[in-house]
């Protein structure tokens, strides 16, 4: 089995299906708008070789996707918002670095403080991912290429994106580590015949690469098991039964956790 630790911006579209023809794969493709296309490419590739392609794992997409489906399933008219927490986005930072001319680059996702309180209070209808977050990029780049970065489709439009062009020295000094613990939420609420309920999934991530890898490994178990039973094709995370993620056997899980 291959754990594809590839960037979503260009590596995945160029390489992932090629791997899926020869191996069971687990990827972390995170360009939400293009996941249906990714699935459509991975499914026939995996079937061709008799493998499973577990796609778009990690925390978002991944753990958050499951919780969006679960939360929304509880309400006839769910009100749902996702908040990513202040911090460094791996996917968007990688996308910035793929823009021609960019030598160094990071992207910080900055949530609006008010939006999460509004969502918890059930007033999130007007809040979109784009209105609840802004994106700040710190980039070392040639002047001629500055304009191309803010207009990258899917990853940056429609978000309010600010690009700070800085020197190599400033980049080295200020943007090497992960300065924030990311506190991320999926909040779903709604009316249940006259009463109001809310369900929330929270992640506190000191290192997003570590947490992405943890989820990827868990979904690796969930890919290996159907593969061993002779199943094949692409799988997204909401299609996976939770027990398949666990290193503990089903009987013990039923005794312990159900």
Residue with tokens 């960019």: 102
Q: Is 41 in the site for ligand API (CB under 6 A)?
A: no
Distance CA 86, CA 55 (A): 25
Measured CA to CA, the distance from residue 107 to residue 17 in angstroms comes to 27
Say if residue 32 is preceded by a cis peptide, omega within 30 of 0: no
* CB nearer ligand API, residue 79 or residue 109: 109
Q: For residues 99-128, which are near ligand API according to CB under 6 A?
A: 109
Interface mask toward ligand API for 136-175; x: CB under 6 A: ----------------------------------------
Helices H, strands E: what count in the chain?
10, 11
The answer to whether residue 90 forms part of the interface with ligand API (CB under 6 A) is yes
Local structure of residue 59 (DSSP, 8 states): B
Question: Which of 89, 161, 188, 189 is in the footprint of ligand API by CB under 6 A?
Answer: 89
In angstroms, rounded to a whole number, what is the distance separating the alpha carbons of residues 81 and 57?
19
The nearer residue to ligand API, 44 or 129, going by C-beta atoms, is: 129
Among 75, 84, 156, 219, binds ligand API (CB under 6 A): 84
**Binding pattern to ligand API, positions 50-79, x when CB under 6 A?**
--------xxx-------------------
Total residues contacting ligand API by CB under 6 A comes to 11
Beta bridge partners of 136: 108, 162
Alpha-helix residue ranges (DSSP H) falling in the chain: 11-20, 35-49, 63-73, 90-97, 113-120, 129-132, 146-150, 168-174, 208-228, 250-257
Nearest distance in Å: CB 243, ligand API = 25
Q: Which range, of 37-45, 71-79, 87-95, 240-248, touches ligand API by CB under 6 A?
A: 87-95
Residues near ligand API (CB under 6 A) are 30, 58-60, 84, 89-92, 109, 208
């Amino acid at each position: 089995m291959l754990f594809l630790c590839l960037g979503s911006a260009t590596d995945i579209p160029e390489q992932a299906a090629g791997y899926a023809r020869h191996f069971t794969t687990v990827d972390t493709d995170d360009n939400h708008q293009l996941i249906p296309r990714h699935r459509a490419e991975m499914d026939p590739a995996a079937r061709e070789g008799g493998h499973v392609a577990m796609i778009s794992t990690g925390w978002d997409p991944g753990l958050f996707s499951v919780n969006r489906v679960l939360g929304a399933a509880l309400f006839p008219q769910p009100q749902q918002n996702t908040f990513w927490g202040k911090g460094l986005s791996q996917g968007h930072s990688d996308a910035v670095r793929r823009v021609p001319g960019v030598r160094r680059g990071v992207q910080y996702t900055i949530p609006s403080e008010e939006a999460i309180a509004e969502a918890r209070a059930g007033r999130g209808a007007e809040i979109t991912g784009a209105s609840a977050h802004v994106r700040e990029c710190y980039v070392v780049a040639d002047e001629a290429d500055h304009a191309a970065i803010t207009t990258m489709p899917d990853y940056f439009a429609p978000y309010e994106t600010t690009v700070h062009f800085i020197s190599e020295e400033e980049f080295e000094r200020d943007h090497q580590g992960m300065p924030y613990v990311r506190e991320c939420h999926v909040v779903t609420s709604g009316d249940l015949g006259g009463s109001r309920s809310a369900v929330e999934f929270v992640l506190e991530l000191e290192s997003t690469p570590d947490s992405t890898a943890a989820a990827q490994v868990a979904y690796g178990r969930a890919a290996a098991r159907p593969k061993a039973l002779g199943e094949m094709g692409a799988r997204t995370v909401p299609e996976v039964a939770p027990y398949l993620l666990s290193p503990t056997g089903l009987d013990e899980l039923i005794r312990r956790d159900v």
